[in-house]
């Protein structure tokens, strides 16, 4: 491109540049994906080194292309060309500085942080526990002391990440500023087909729609946990100690269902027991989830998916067990990586991960720059939308139960779902609120941990169970922080999935309570869904939203519709209670 620097650039130059970028990404992207796959599945010093070199190479390419794309900013180009150029500039998660040594340093830090998390263990006297083992304690124990030890134990893996994380922020911000953004957070917010300054306002609007339901849930759960653990453990500030909610990060509260469930809820379907009864192993669970997508009219997964995916934790090595969907060649080599447990939670997670895989393949004929979701929230929402159809009717259709229980059981099911979905919403919002403040300097390195807990207190009404200091780095105990995965997508997904579900149920001709609808085996709903999957990122997300939801706006009222019976019940329970924090 040196000759382009010396003359006025033209539309033909822009087209040549786009061709070069797309060809490079197709070729280099597969190589990088294969290295990342090996690193995640065989954590050794050598694979960490390879991973760092690969990140360094791809980071350098991305920054180089993003800087070159700026040269065409003033040209009058077609909408399609302009969109692809904007995607080149905005597709970076972290922008390495335009400096060879700093790019290498950033890549090494990113690989190290990922590996520190993946191989993290809590050890006492040579007895070590993994995240999976500690999480099991948090999920199953009701002993305050055991919970506290597991909670604290996992957070011993993250303090050593702190200096690396701080340096990573400095380098990434330098890279973002080279591209014309104020900081890395501003770069992330620019990727939503709307002015970056308006995006946080939109998030606040959506949160305000859900907050009254969350507040009712938090009040009820806090009351019931106080009954169980006593005020000495709970305190009297209205907040819930983070180790008592059944999840390592207090982002999913289904682990406390038995303590907070409605007394007259009847019995919910014990899916975990049914999976065991019907001899479901990891593969059968995955085949069942595949069957959901094929029932909507999508083609089955390729044979290579079954040959190359990781379904169970190997006994002989460290792997990153965090469930993920992989698109190795951006065409047909799609895979899932997950250490599947034969339980209800993982049954749902598999449906979610396959949502990514079916989406990845549906747009594989588009420009490589469009082979992604309409926005990143869409990608997360698609699998979750399907998971909302994992209803009693679905269990009957796949042969797990013989009869659909009466609606008198719905309150228990809705409580369980709210503990999973509604409990998550403020957490989904605050993770990037913290990062954006770190990136723009509002939260200084000396306040990393304090800033984290201030946001958790504010949004969730959740507090640390013991005093935390700046010797701790509790954000690093959550995969997406050291793994550098933007998190607002999960917040958006928790809004969009209900909006999508409501519209697909309408398309399916479903009449009745929204939480009872399953679109399994419904081709009319499938047709609407497939149309959006095939679009990829070719059009602004508002266009994809209109195709699926007949609206160009995100709307959380579907969340309220779905949980309406539970909200009535919670408000009855909370009468006379001192709610809020």
* Separation between Cα atoms, residue 530 and residue 97, nearest integer Å: 39
CB 214 within 8 A of CB 425: yes
Reply yes or no on whether 287 is catalytic.
no
Other CB atoms within a 10 A radius of the CB of residue 471 amount to 8
Among the options 56, 114, 174, 353, which is catalytic?
Answer: 353
Among the options 480, 494, 501, 515, which is catalytic?
Answer: 480
Q: Is 344 left (phi over 0), alpha (psi -120 to 50) or beta?
A: alpha
Facing residues of 132 across strands?
Answer: none
* Separation between Cα atoms, residue 212 and residue 205, nearest integer Å: 13
Selection from 96, 132, 112 nearest residue 48 by Cα:
112
Give the burial class of 469: count Cβ atoms within 10 A of its Cβ; 0-12 exposed, 13-18 middle, 19 or more buried: exposed
Q: Which two tokens stand for residue 497?
A: 């999935």
* Separation between Cα atoms, residue 504 and residue 321, nearest integer Å: 32
Strand bridging mode 240-241 / 127-130:
unpaired
Contacts of 250 (CB under 8 A, 6+ apart): 240, 242, 243, 423, 427, 456, 460, 462
At 121 the three-state DSSP class reads strand
CB 242 within 8 A of CB 250: yes
Reply yes or no on whether 480 is catalytic.
yes
Other CB atoms within a 10 A radius of the CB of residue 370 amount to 19
User: What are the DSSP calls for 64-98, one per residue?
Assistant: HHHHHHGGGTTS---HHHHHHHHHHHH--SSPPPS
Q: At what angle do helices 79-90 and 45-69 cross, to 10 degrees?
A: 140
Strand bridging mode 334-337 / 324-327:
antiparallel
Burial 119-136, CB ≥16 within 10 A → b, else e? ebbbeeeeeebbbeebbe
What is the helix (H) or strand (E) element at residue 129, kind and residue range?
strand 127-130
Strand bridging mode 462-463 / 240-241:
parallel
User: What are the DSSP calls for 322-338, one per residue?
Assistant: S-EEEESSSSS-EEEE-
Task: Catalogue the active-site residues.
Answer: 353, 480
């Amino acid at each position: 491109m040196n000759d382009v620097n010396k003359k006025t650039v033209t539309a033909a130059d822009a087209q040549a540049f786009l061709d070069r970028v797309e060809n490079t990404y197709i070729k280099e992207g597969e190589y990088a994906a294969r290295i990342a796959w090996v690193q995640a599945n065989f954590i050794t010093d050598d694979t960490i080194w390879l991973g760092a070199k690969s990140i360094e190479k791809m980071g350098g390419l991305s920054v180089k292309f993003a800087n070159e794309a700026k040269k065409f900013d003033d040209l009058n180009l077609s909408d399609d060309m302009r969109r692809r150029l904007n995607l080149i500039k905005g597709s970076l998660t972290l922008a390495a500085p335009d400096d060879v040594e700093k790019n290498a340093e950033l890549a090494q830090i990113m690989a190290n942080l990922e590996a520190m998390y993946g191989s993290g263990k809590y050890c006492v006297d040579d007895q070590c526990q993994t995240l999976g083992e500690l999480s099991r304690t948090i999920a199953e124990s009701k002993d305050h002391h055991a919970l506290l030890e597991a909670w604290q134990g996992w957070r011993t893996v993250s303090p050593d990440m702190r200096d690396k994380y701080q340096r990573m922020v400095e380098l990434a911000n330098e890279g973002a500023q080279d591209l014309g953004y104020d900081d890395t957070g501003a770069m992330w917010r620019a990727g939503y087909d709307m002015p970056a300054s308006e995006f946080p306002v939109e998030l606040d609007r959506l949160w305000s729609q859900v907050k009254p339901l969350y507040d009712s849930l938090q009040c009820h759960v806090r009351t019931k946990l106080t009954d169980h653990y006593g005020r000495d453990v709970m305190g009297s500030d209205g907040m819930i100690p983070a180790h008592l909610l059944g999840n390592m990060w207090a982002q999913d509260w289904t682990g406390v269902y038995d303590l907070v469930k409605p007394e007259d809820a009847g019995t919910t379907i014990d899916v975990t027991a049914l999976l065991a009864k019907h001899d479901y192993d990891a593969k059968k669970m995955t085949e069942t989830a595949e069957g959901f997508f094929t029932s909507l009219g999508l083609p089955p997964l390729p044979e290579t998916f079954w040959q190359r995916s990781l379904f169970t934790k190997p006994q002989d090595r460290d792997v990153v067990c965090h469930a993920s969907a992989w698109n190795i060649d951006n065409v047909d080599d799609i895979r899932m990586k997950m250490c599947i447990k034969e339980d209800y939670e993982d049954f749902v997670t598999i449906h979610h991960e396959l949502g990514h895989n079916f989406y990845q393949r549906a747009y594989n004929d588009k420009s490589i720059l469009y082979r992604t979701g309409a926005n990143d929230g869409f990608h997360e929402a698609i699998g979750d939308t399907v998971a909302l159809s994992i209803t009693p009717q679905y269990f009957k259709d796949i042969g797990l139960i013989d009869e659909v229980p009466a609606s008198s059981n719905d309150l228990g099911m809705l409580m369980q779902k709210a503990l999973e979905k509604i409990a998550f919403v403020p957490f989904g919002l605050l993770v990037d609120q913290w990062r954006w403040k770190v990136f723009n300097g509002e939260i200084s390195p000396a306040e990393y941990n304090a800033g984290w807990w201030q946001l958790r207190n504010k949004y969730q009404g959740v507090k640390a169970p013991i005093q935390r200091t700046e010797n701790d780095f509790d954000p690093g105990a959550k995969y997406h922080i050291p793994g550098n995965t933007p998190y607002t997508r999960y917040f958006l997904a928790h809004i969009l999935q209900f909006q999508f579900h409501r519209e697909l149920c309408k398309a399916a001709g479903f009449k009745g309570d929204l939480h009872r609808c399953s679109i399994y085996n419904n081709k009319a709903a499938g047709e609407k869904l497939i149309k959006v999957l095939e679009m990829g990122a070719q059009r602004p997300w508002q266009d994809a939203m209109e195709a699926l939801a007949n609206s160009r706006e995100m709307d959380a009222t579907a969340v309220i519709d779905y949980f309406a019976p539970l909200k009535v019940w919670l408000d009855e329970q909370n009468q006379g209670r001192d709610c809020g924090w």
